[in-house]
Structure 1
């Protein structure tokens, strides 16, 4: 079944669909489920399907479908790839909580975001700074528009500012964010009621914790071959990455 949003996006894209000699060219304004739904519908009828993604009308369509939200589309896609979201936040905070853990069960399940202190904030800021350095190199050496990228503190305030009571530091931004209030670190409860950290939770496995990518300062670890790293696909320079 198509979702209501997918139906409306497909209806908008419908006039752009054309079929020639069993070759269907599907033009979709932006990505998402609609592209896959359209491809599946026509390939099941025996057509060969090619998908072309265009963002030229994405802003118009998003603001038509979502009446009460203002979407602004712009910048290079690498802004999204380098965004300081879960891939930075989850491992960074987890390290902050457990970096000096003695391996013994704990009496209480630690708060995850509200537990953010200066040490953890420094870990998060360091990760953000490293990404910003990459962003700056991409912007300097290519024509990619990287102006939409935000450092972690700016991003958090932009998204959650209305529910953050103290924005004076990165630690306070996380610790006083009401959207995160009460969320605890992933743990496994033992029979005696104590807790052990669960390092196999999606908070960490989705962010590739426990894999080897960096060796001697280069992305050449044993797990690169089944990752999304550009090096896996033979991309070795910033210019190749941007294309």
Structure 2
């Protein structure tokens, strides 16, 4: 089996190391920096101890060289890079090839409309399959822990069992099929986890304000961030309840996922996750001190390709989400985009986002039919 990975970041590198040690798998990589890559990826424990290595057979920036013979393509790219990349690889896709996205939210299903209609299967992971950090770009990666099991949805939904069976063998992890892709698209993961924390950290920030140090994103998590996170989760769950084809237990509540009922319990849980202890907040150091980095992946991905998509679904089904609106309006203010006009979600900068209404979904019935 030939598998091509799109993206050589933390998770992409770990995935190549994992798949590349299997004798019956040929791993390829599409990257803009092929000269920086080794054909052998070393995977290490968090203390740097070598665990295993995997082989990458073909490394190229040319889609024709790595996509043409691939049976499965898995993207670990940021959501804001996905559409541009999928358009580049589209002409070289093998008939019937599967296209996977890890994680699967971010509107990738809309960008793959034409491919799905032509017989390709899209599959998306509810969350990434583990936590990883690069040791040396293109050569080695720290494995900070993998999930015990994965949850995966497909379009068409009828292909979910087959896809899960194949992925289970590839990743040596239990893979649970989800009823439909909405269970991935609406999973309360990074789109509310990251945005809740970013809003808590920086909503009082004004130009000319400086922080005297870098703030740890998770270890210094606060009860205020937990309260925002739990309340945003409840707004997402209100949307899921309105879409009766969505199984709330399979989408998952944030409190259930972290095993925390109160903001204080949530803070204790999030701040104590060892694998996340060294992750810093998106900040940059200038002469006067630290300021928020509004051009970081946190901002470029989780607001426009996370909260905006949730808001898009809510607009269609008629669910009010005042807290998410407040957070998006703050993001709009600090980044200069236009999402709202006189309080209505109809600004010029939502037109090019992968929102359901931008792809012809205008009713609950449309949504149910699309994800069937």
Change (3 A) 1:167 1:75: farther
Q: Offset at 1:101?
A: 3.0
- 1:91 match: 195
Please give the secondary structure, in 2, of the residue aligned with 1:206.
helix
Q: Distance in 1 between matches of 2:167 and 2:357?
A: 33
Give the corresponding residue for 1:149. Answer: 251
**Which residue of structure 2 lines up, in the alignment, with residue 202 of structure 1?**
297
Q: Distance in 1 between matches of 2:205 and 2:273?
A: 25
CA contact (8 A) 1:80 1:149 kept: yes
CA offset digits 1:38-70 (Å, max 9, x no partner): 972658xxxxx9323232411211122223x11
- Superposed CA deviations along residues 96-132 of structure 1, whole A, max 9, x for unmatched, are 1112235411111111122221211111112111110
Where in structure 2 are the equivalents of 1:14-53 lying within 5 Å?
Answer: 32=74, 40=92, 42=94, 50-53=118-121
Q: Which runs of 5+ in 2 are unaligned?
A: 5-15, 28-69, 76-85, 96-114, 122-158, 305-330
Query: Counterpart of 1:234?
Result: 360
Against the structure 1 CA distance between its residues 217 and 137, is the aligned structure 2 distance closer, same or farther, given a 3 Å change threshold?
farther
Q: Is the 8 A contact 1:112 1:184 kept in 2?
A: yes
Q: Quick check: 2:339–2:345 contact (8 Å CA) kept in 1?
A: yes
**Cα–Cα, structure 1 residues 41 and 137, in superposed 2: closer, same or farther, change >3 Å?**
closer
TM-score (norm 2): 0.48
SS at match of 1:189: strand
Query: How far 1:231 sits from its partner (Å)?
Result: 1.5
Higher strand share: 2
**How many residue pairs are counted as aligned between the two chains?**
207
Tell me the CA shift for residue 169 of structure 1.
1.7
**What TM-score comes out, normalization by structure 1 length?**
0.71
Q: CA deviation at 1:218?
A: 4.8
Q: What whole-Å deviation, never above 9, does each CA across 1:165-199 have from its counterpart, x for those lacking one?
A: x996222222222121132211111235x211111
For 2:119, what is the secondary structure of its paired residue?
strand
From 178, 183, 192, the counterpart of 2:274: 178
Please identify the structure whose Cα radius of gyration is greater. Answer: 1
Q: Distance in 1 between matches of 2:217 and 2:250?
A: 28
Matches within 5 A, 1:65-214: 65-67=170-172, 69-102=173-206, 103-139=208-244, 143-157=245-259, 169-191=265-287, 194-207=289-302, 208=304, 209-210=331-332, 211-214=337-340
The two structures, once aligned, show a CA RMSD in angstroms of 3.5
